[in-house]
Amino acid sequence: MSNLYSWNPVFNFIMKLKEEVQKQFGEVSYETKEITNENGGRRELTCVENWARLLNNQDYIKRLTPLHIAQNDNLVLFRYTDHVSIKEGEKEINSFDEEFWNIYDGFYKECRSVVIDVVHNTIVIAPFKKFMNLNQSEEYSLENIQKRITKAISNFKPVEITTKLDGSMQCATYYEEGILLTGAQAVNKNKSWRLTDSFNRLVINDNLIKMIMENEGLTFIFEYISLKDAHVVRYTKEQEGLYLIGVRENNTGKQWSYKEVLQKAKKYNVKLTTDLHKETLDEVLNSLDKYKSSEAEGVVLNIDGFLVKIKYNDYVKCHKLISAISSPNLIIQAYADSWIDDLIVKIPKEHRWRIEGLIDILHEYCWIKNNNIDKCYRDIYRKTHGKIVDFMKEVQNYPKEDRTYIIQKYKGQPINFLKTQAISNSPHYKTLGELGLQEDYEEMLKSKQFFL
């Protein structure tokens, strides 16, 4: 295996997986495999996930569990998600969980949509690694950040501040005689409306094309701004596009300073790069009430390659509200208890698409489920003439969950397909996984041009 890219713990792990498969089985398959989960949902396993299962190595499987992994031919993308923590098995990954981000030599920090060619053993896309908000963890405490700044300045290292845009990160590079554009979860532009839109913008911009093609081995990091991809900040039609926000070297992992990024943008006349701020950190902290959430998100502090997010106060409040209200679990609870309309009105119109897709799925799920239960009830009633002993005996031939609903219908009790123990003081609201809707939900969001 190549000694290049050894700076990246994700690459090192994948190469180790591949070597063990090759050593144990003599050959390595790069094929994907479709599986069905216990709730009936379907998803595609990438070759990397298949390798871990083939080796039957529970440590490898556990390490991959918190990741969204996508494959397109030789290219495999790795992105951290909010799945179950590998440390405790029941706790969701929390962005404040400093221990999680530091395990395995910072493995998950580099899982920010890094793309590896698993056939040719190459890092193709090297985005920013995970970085946090000021005071989000001990490492990012104001005291420690101030110490970093003092040390950087004393060693003549760059300390820079630039505008943080409120869009979606995308990366581009020149690879195998073509331009590759990737998103947070998609490595194939045909599976992401965002990437399709960005690629269409990119190919008509000769300056961007020339910059990417003439700098093989570099990952160009962009912020994608689109009115169809509204977050919290409200941009205008004229502000749509790809904004160059960073550059990283694939071979070494070196992240360029903003000054170097600006110089590259100037050379190729790429206009969509944000300027450097002249304020000091103290001046930024004293102006956190300066902008409304609709006007700006915040800034990024770059201390010799160590990045820190600093967000304006109103943006933080608005983002927390939208994130909380957009939680699938909260939407299921609101829909199950019939106060979903009260939830929707709290969200600005431009953000309601975030929950409307799931509402459509829940409505269809309950409609199909009700029709099925109604049919089963009528079939049993017709067969047993409604006699309670015979009815209860016949219903045992049906799936356990369906039995409960059929009996509730027989007794004239209210049925709620989205929660169990519905009439108790502490009902259990089902998750997407328990409803068997997780993969369907993700596919619907793709088909409706959401999220990816």
- In single-letter form, the type of residue at position 155 comes to N
For residue 132, give Cα distances in angstroms to 49, 129, 322, 330, 376. 28, 10, 19, 25, 53
Count the Cβ atoms, other than its own, within 10 Å of residue 177: 7
Coil/strand/helix, residue 14 = helix
Q: Where are the beta strands (DSSP E) in 33-74?
A: 33-36, 42-45, 67-72
pLDDT tens string, the chain, 452 residues long: the values are 456 788 999 999 999 999 999 999 999 999 998 876 555 556 789 999 999 999 999 999 999 988 999 999 999 999 998 533 333 333 344 445 677 888 898 999 999 999 999 999 999 999 999 999 999 888 999 999 999 999 999 999 999 999 999 989 999 999 998 999 999 888 988 888 889 999 999 999 999 999 999 999 999 999 999 988 778 888 889 999 999 999 999 999 999 999 999 999 999 988 776 778 888 999 999 999 988 888 889 999 999 999 999 999 888 877 776 776 667 888 888 888 888 887 777 676 666 766 777 888 888 889 999 999 999 999 999 999 989 999 999 999 998 878 989 999 999 988 899 887 655 567 788 888 788 776 555 555 555 433 32
Residue with tokens 């995308």: 170
